Every structure is written in structure tokens, then in C-alpha cells.
Amino acid sequence: MVKRMIVKIDEEKCTGCGKCVAPCAEGAIQIINGKAKVVSEELCDGMGFCLGICPEGAISIEERHTIEFNREKAEAQPKKEDISIHCFSCGAGENTHYLLPLKHKMQSLWVCTRCLPKLIHG
Ligand code: SF4
Ligand SMILES: [Zn+2]
């Protein structure tokens, strides 16, 4: 066991929408009985890429005692494209564009780096 940063999911707030599953490159999150769960703590590196995409603010990062992050196992997880992840503006997917999570008017969206400057500069 080590003390390190790791994802914490608030079950009270989680609606089980599943939006946080695909953004986790390590496959550490799954929906079980209608709630998001960190299924394998050794796969969660605590980077928190899933935080921004949760519409309910149910995900946070905390420091706690847990199993050490297993980089080798995390990198070996099968990677698959999720077609639900695409730029809200132009529709580009993750296979062809770099996508970033975005919050706007209580919505969790994705934006590609090509469309982001238009949002910044108007
Ligand atoms: S994105 Fe948030 S509300 Fe949706 S399943 Fe994940 S933790 Fe739950
Ligand atoms: Zn775009």
C-alpha cells in the first residue's frame, strides 16, 4: 500500500450516465449497478481526466492509502474508440483530432483543438 492521489466517486451525486468511462484511458472506471466505480485502483493513476467530463461534479481526486499504480497493466488495457466522444462544434472524433473536455451552461462537452480558438477569441 502507498499513499497517493486517486479518483473518488461520490455515489450520491453519480447518475450512472457513463460519460466518465471512455475518457479513462486506463479503463479503471466501469458502471456497476447504475453507479460509476473505480474497478481496479491499480489502474487509476489519479490524473483526473475524468473529472471535467462528469456533469454532476461527482468525481474528485483525493490522497489516500491504496495499491500502487501499475503502469504496465494500465498501458496494456485494450484501447477502443468511443464514438460518443466527438467535438460538439464540428463533430470530429478522437481518432483524427485532439479533444478536450469542456464545461458550458451545466453541460459537459468535448471540443477539438481546431474549434477551441474560435471559443477563446469569439
Ligand atoms: S460522469 Fe459522473 S455522473 Fe456520469 S457515471 Fe461518471 S461519475 Fe457518474
Ligand atoms: Zn471541432
Looking at the structure, do residues 46 and 90 belong to the same domain, yes or no? no
What is the dihedral sign for C-alpha 118, 21, 27, 70? positive
Q: Nearest C-alpha to atom 6 of ligand 1 is from which residue? A: 20
Same domain for 62 and 27: yes
Mean pLDDT, residues 36-45:
93
Q: Is 61 in the pocket of ligand 1 (CB under 6 A)?
A: no
**109 shares its domain with 58:** no
Question: Is residue 7 a contact partner of residue 43, using CB atoms and an 8 Å limit?
Answer: no
First-to-final CA distance of the chain: 48
Is the CB–ligand 1 distance for residue 109 below 6 Å?
Answer: no
User: What pLDDT, on the 0 to 100 scale, is given for residue 89?
Assistant: 95
- Dump strand ranges (E) for the chain: 2-9, 29-32, 35-38, 59-66, 99-104, 107-112
Ligand 1 neighbourhood includes 51 CB (under 6 angstroms) = no
Number of structural domains (the chain) is: 2
Give distance in angstroms: CA of 90 to centre of ligand 1: 24
| Best of 10, 11, 15 for a ligand 1 pocket test (most atoms within 8 Å of beta carbon) | 15
Residues 32 and 90 in one domain: no
Which domain does 85 fall in, by range?
81-122
CATH number at 41 reads 3.30.70.20
Do 36 and 74 lie in one domain? The reply is yes
Query: By percentage, how much of the chain surpasses pLDDT 70?
Result: 98
- Encode pLDDT of 62-89 as tens digits: 999 999 999 999 888 877 667 778 899 9
> What's the CA-to-centroid distance between 73 and ligand 1, angstroms?
24
Distance (angstroms) between ligand 1 centre and the Cα of 85 equals: 15
Q: What is the pLDDT of residue 38?
A: 94
One domain, residues 91 and 64: no
